[in-house]
Amino acid sequence: MITDQFNRPLHDLRISVTDRCNFRCQYCMPAEIFGPDFPFLSKNEVLSFEEIERLAKLFADLGVKKIRLTGGEPLLRRGLPELIEKLTRIEGITDMGLTTNGLLLSRLAEDLYDAGLRRLNISLDALDDNIFKKLNGRGVSSREILAGIDKACEMGFEVKVNMVVQRGVNDQEIVPMAAYFREKGISLRFIEFMDVGNSNGWNMEKVITKKEMYEILSSHFELEPVDAAYFGEVAKRYRFKESNAEVGFITSVSESFCSSCTRARISADGKLYTCLFASHGTDLRAFLRDRSSDETIKTKITSIWSKRADRYSDQRNNLQTPKKKIEMSYIGG
């Protein structure tokens, strides 16, 4: 296991398999930026499955145990179950997950399960159809996503639902979402609205903090704290009393967790990023395609991680000028 300057181990790898999405949500792909003429990556620019598999094996050699496939929307990547089969066979990888907006899940859940995937994080920011359609910008009904969630649960997936909460946008959905998924026995994660990328219109006034959300929920439900399951777990978790269902809070704004971050990210075109709020990445695709040896690539990865000093969420309030950051749709969540 390699560690960085603050003794944070590299344990968790997020791999973006495409920069494309079938939503134009306000959070990471606003329509005014990602319109029909937006220049997405070409096929040759995107890592092949073989290249992704090779990188995953090298990261596993360096101590990575967890892989999560992200996007964009990963279910848009043709042949994705084939990649999942490859990755689940890698020695040392003990946890394999995928983050999706769920729109294609009803159709693809069986293939994903047969390929060996068992864990899904599904994004859903509202139950109310009017709110959800406004957020996704495509007129997609929340019922379509809920149908995908039901299908995934029927197949036997471990499902977590992620809700990004914005003041004045969908904060009225906090209690209905909690009640719905408590009844379903599905874990729900409330995510503070973060300033990822440069185009989602973030400002602090739109942030509903974990403290505020907890107080809202506590007026309707009895919640019991749950201990962290592992070092680097980002969600502060609570269990509904007399229920197996949980809620969690991801508090990147109000209670940063930089000190325990163990995540690296690979963009769809093969750049390595050591922080969700990074400005620049390191091109690993070039090493893959110029026939560099495995040891050369591992040495490069080790060098990058060992020099890592990212602490953006710790430093956010002290920055004199805004930092330009890579877009979330490109780097993955």
Annotated binding residues, as ranges? 14, 21, 25, 27-28, 68, 72, 99, 123, 160, 194, 258, 261, 263-265, 275
Helix (H, G, I), strand (E, B) or coil at 135: helix
Q: Which two tokens stand for residue 12?
A: 């968790």
Provide the angle, in degrees to the nearest 10, between the axes of the packed helices 80-88 and 105-114: 30
Task: Give the annotated binding-site residues for S-adenosyl-L-methionine.
Answer: 27, 72, 123, 194
Helices marked H in 156-235 — which ranges? 174-184, 210-218
The DSSP output letter for 12 is: E
H-helix or E-strand spanning residue 246: strand 246-250
Q: Is 250 helix (H, G, I), strand (E, B) or coil?
A: strand
Cis peptide before 168 (omega within 30 of 0): no
Residue 34's nearest CA partner among 194, 164, 200, 279 is 200
Residues 6+ apart with CB under 8 A from 216: 174, 175
Q: List binding-site positions for GTP.
A: 14, 68, 99, 160, 263-265
DSSP string, 282-298: EE-HHHHHTT--HHHHH
Q: CA-based Rg of the chain, rounded to a whole angstrom?
A: 19
Token pair 């942030």 is at which residue?
Answer: 207
The binding site for [4Fe-4S] cluster consists of 21, 25, 28, 258, 261, 275
